[in-house]
């Protein structure tokens, strides 16, 4: 959690970058250990197989090898950026913050949350700590978009027949003309 707070108020780049580097190195080391474990059983099992390409995000690695600990390997990276994104510990604070800030009329933050943690949404049994926030964000986005779309469509399609005089006052191009919003550039 302190990591995520520093990532929000990063006034000293060097420190943040060092931590990132350390984390990345740890991840690499872990991953190289794991991948070396996986490779040998599969190579032993089949005579002539090329080493299969682990797909980016390493989602399939766990699935290929039934011996490996499937749940921890299947969705190794909670973010959509895979190894370039956050690790699981950082993600919890991040997801929580975005979920919280989305309530101040910022549904786009919820959408970003869902997009960023798409692997979490996809595998319904992984990342138990992050999942509530991401699912909450998804629900929030759908509800908000439904409300906003219904209002906007009512406004556009209803037009003057529905609203009468106030339609002219509310529509954006009239507001822009009235306050001269396009004139100052």
Partner 1 sequence: MDQSQRPKGILHSLGEEIIRIITPVSICMFLVVILVSILDADSSSSPSFTTIATIAYDETTSDTEWDKFKGALLNSLVFVTVVTLVTFLLVLLFYFRCTGFLKYYMGFSAFLVLGFMGGEIALFLIQVFNFAIDCFTYVLLLFNFTIVGVLAVFMSKIPIFLTQSYMVIIGVLTAYWFTMLPEWTTWVLLVAMALYDLAAVLLPVGPLRLLVELAISRDEDIPALVYEARPIIDHGNTTIVQRRVWREPVNPESHIESSQNEVSIANVEQGQGDELRAPLMEPLGENMVLEGIGLGASGAIKLGLGDFIFYSVLVGRAAMYDFMTVYACYLAIIAGLGITLILLALYQKALPALPVSVLLGVLFYVLTRVFLEEFIVQCSSNLLMF
Residues in contact with partner 1 by the rule CB under 8 A: 7-8, 10-14, 16-17, 21, 24-25, 27-29, 31-32, 35, 50-51, 53-56, 58, 79-86, 90, 94, 105-109, 112, 115-116, 148, 151-152, 155-156, 159, 170-173, 175-176, 181-182, 184-185
Least distance to partner 1 from the beta carbon of 70, Å?
Answer: 18
- Pick the closest to residue 109 from 78, 84, 88, 134 (CA basis): 134
CB nearer to partner 1: pick between 128 and 172? 172
Measured from the CB of residue 173, what is the shortest distance to partner 1 in angstroms? Answer: 5
Q: Which residues of 38-52 are buried (b: 16+ CB within 10 A; e: fewer)?
A: beeeeeeeeeeeeee
Closest CB to partner 1 among residues 60, 135: 60
Which residue, 66 or 180, is less far from partner 1 as judged by CB? 180
Residue 95 DSSP SS3: helix
Name the token pair of 14: 């060097």
> Between 125 and 146, whose beta carbon lies closer to partner 1?
146
**Closest-CA residue to 37 (of 71, 59, 69):** 69
Task: For residue 35, give the nearest of 71, 76, 90, 92 by alpha carbon.
Answer: 76
Least distance to partner 1 from the beta carbon of 131, Å? 18
- For 118, the 3-state DSSP assignment is helix
CB of 63 to partner 1, least distance (A): 15
């Amino acid at each position: 959690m302190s990591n995520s707070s520093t990532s929000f108020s990063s006034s000293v780049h060097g420190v943040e970058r060092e931590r990132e580097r350390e984390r990345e190195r740890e991840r690499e080391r872990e991953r190289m250990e794991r991948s070396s474990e996986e490779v040998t059983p599969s190579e032993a099992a089949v005579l002539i197989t090329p080493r299969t390409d682990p797909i980016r995000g390493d989602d399939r690695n766990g699935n290929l090898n039934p011996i490996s600990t499937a749940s921890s390997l299947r969705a190794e990276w909670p973010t959509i950026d895979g190894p370039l994104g956050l690790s699981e510990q950082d993600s919890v604070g991040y997801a929580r913050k975005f979920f919280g800030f989305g309530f101040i009329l910022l549904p786009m933050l919820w959408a970003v949350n869902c997009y960023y943690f798409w692997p979490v949404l996809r595998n319904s049994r992984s990342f138990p700590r992050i999942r509530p926030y991401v699912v909450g964000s998804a629900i929030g986005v759908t509800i908000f978009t439904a409300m906003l779309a219904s209002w906007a469509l009512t406004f556009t399609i209803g037009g003057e027949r529905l609203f009468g005089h106030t339609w002219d006052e509310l529509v954006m191009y009239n507001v822009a003309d009235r306050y001269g919003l396009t004139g100052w550039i």
